Amino acid sequence: MSEKQIYGAIEAGGTSFVCAVGTGPEDLITKEITTTTPNETVSKVIEFFTSQTEKVSAIGVACFGPVDLNVNSPTYGQILSSPKLDWNGVNLVEKIQQALKVPVKIDTDVNGAAIGEYRHGAAQGKNNLVYVTVGTGIGGGVLVNGKSLPGLLHTELGHMFVPHDINQDSFGGNCPYHADCLEGLASAGAITERWGTKKASDLPDDHQAWELEGLYLAYAMVNIILTLSPEIIIIGGGVLKRKPLLKIIHKNVKKLLNGYLPLEAVSEDIESYIILPQYHGPAGVLGALELAKQT
């Protein structure tokens, strides 16, 4: 009989690193470490793992990005161009592997959350799914057969282009690369800039901002459905805390698809097809734990 395997997980975020050791949601020791400089943060992370009585056999990292996820690349695990400038070029995989001498697997934070939902939340049994987060930025994780879609880089669903009717919406968009891509039109920052408010959450439920937001996000959902045909789409993030928004998205997705897809999931039961995250535990860190199990 083999011994019970203990795994390590790190959800590496811009404001904190959540570290964990254990086997699953019922057996997890976690610690939150404030994100400061790379050196200070990484040494605290390593200290957390070395101070545990049980040694982990592998570590999974769900990381803010963009990150080099190509295992064959010489810079695998490196943070490529983070807005947190001092983290640019930091190779978390290398640092952790060297210090702890265990295999390390890295993926994006949103893929981590998608894996967490897949294993423990709303998407259980749905092997092909998309997870979109709409907050300060817009990110998207894509799982195919329960694993993140491999490719040149991770997916960047937030920067897809969506129709922008300048007569209806004169705001030019705020993505520094593309101006009016999805993120440039529909992130929390785009909402506050467009409507001249401090926080998107200050706008009342009946503000026209939400109809427009729901339309842009529906364009994104339609593009995702048409290109990836996922079994379920989970949409979360701070902006989706706005109650009426999901309904507006549902309404517009049906309208835009116009009956084209012969799918009951879309035509009859879209409320169970495009859904909010359902898992209220630490989906990101549990996703990272699953990554460790995949090494």
Query: Is residue 77 within 8 Å of 60, Cβ to Cβ?
Result: no
Residues 275 and 265: their CA atoms lie apart, in Å, by 12
Minimum distance, C-beta of residue 178 to Zn ion, in the bound complex (Å): 4
Question: Which of residues 20 and 188 has its CB atom nearest to Zn ion in the complex?
Answer: 188
Residue whose CB is less far from Zn ion, 92 or 239: 239
Nearer to Zn ion, 91 or 187 (CB): 187
Cα 119 from Cα 227, distance rounded (Å): 24
Q: Is the dihedral of CA 127, 148, 132, 61 positive or negative?
A: positive
Handedness of CA 104, 105, 109, 112 (dihedral sign): negative
Q: How far is the CB of 172 from Zn ion (least distance, A)?
A: 13
Give min distance, CB of 156 to Zn ion, in A.
8
Nearest distance from C-beta of residue 179 to Zn ion, angstroms? 8
Interface with Zn ion (CB under 5 A): 159, 175, 177-178, 181, 183
Least Å distance between CB 186 and Zn ion?
Answer: 11
Measured from the CB atom, is 130 or 157 closer to Zn ion? 157
Residue closer to Zn ion, measured from CB, 6 or 157: 157
Least spacing, CB of residue 132 vs Zn ion, in Å: 15
How far apart are the two ends of the chain, measured CA to CA in Å? Answer: 21
Q: Which residue, 91 or 192, is less far from Zn ion as judged by CB?
A: 192
